[in-house]
Amino acid sequence: MPRVVIPGIHVALLTGPLVLGYMFGFGLYGILIVQVYMYSELFPRDRPAIKALVWTMFCLESVFTLFTTIAAWNQYGPGWGDTDTLLIIDWAWGPLPVLNGVLAGMAQSFYIWRIYSLSKLIILPILIGLVMLTQVIAALYFGIVVSIQGRGIDKLFALSPEVTLWVAASAACDILITLSLVWVLSRQKKKINFARTSKIINRLIRYSVETGAVTSFLAVVDVVFWLTSRQWNFHFIFFLVIGKL
């Protein structure tokens, strides 16, 4: 079967990133299942509110993965060779922006609460909370408008300012959370004179930097790809995996 060729369009740069995004997303979902199981086994006495947050996010992430599976099947199964699949976003993508924004907002809200609990400062959590709400609202607006007006790629580009606000605010929120956690923990460390406790805080700081840096870095890369090469689909790789990270 000859390769699909569309004049002026590099098909591989449209379909290839989606394949990577789907595969990475499925792999990370498997890791997520193991993490949720380990959480349930190791922290049976955790607060009911935190348990509810964990299981709610897991269920929503499962729904997100289900819709990405449907989208992958529709494009690479019955839609294989149909050039319209390159120009029209599959219906299964409709709920994904909303789910992505809500999941990010829930995770970021948890860390905002942690920052407040550790620092007892109100201004910093409010600032980060406003950035978080910005990305959630932008994601909701984009998802609703695209569902109403149509799922063509032209609609995606027509809403470029909203998408830019969404991904930029999400990246900024992740960076602010990482920096704030490091600052708050470092401040707590200065108040402690016990070597063992200081080592525990050092591990928490290192953990915050390592995990926060990964998410923040990929969020920034997502913004860069969206701003510099939105005509291709590289930014979708990060859209499909960053929630699980």
> What are 17's two structure tokens?
């990133």
pTM of the predicted model as reported, rounded to 2 decimal places:
0.85
Q: Give alpha helix (H) positions in 150-194.
A: 153-158, 160-190
Encode pLDDT of 62-121 as tens digits. Answer: 999 999 999 889 888 876 766 666 667 778 888 898 999 999 999 999 989 988 988 888
Encode pLDDT of 203-238 as tens digits. Answer: 777 777 777 778 888 888 888 988 888 778 888 888
Going by C-alpha positions, the residue among 182, 190, 185, 168 that lies closest to residue 211 is: 182
pLDDT confidence tier of residue 1, bands split at 50, 70 and 90:
very low
Rounded alpha-carbon distances, angstroms, from residue 6 to 12, 81, 82, 84: 11, 11, 11, 11
> Under 8 Å CB-to-CB from 197, ≥6 apart: which residues?
none
Q: Who has greater pLDDT, 215 or 152?
A: 215
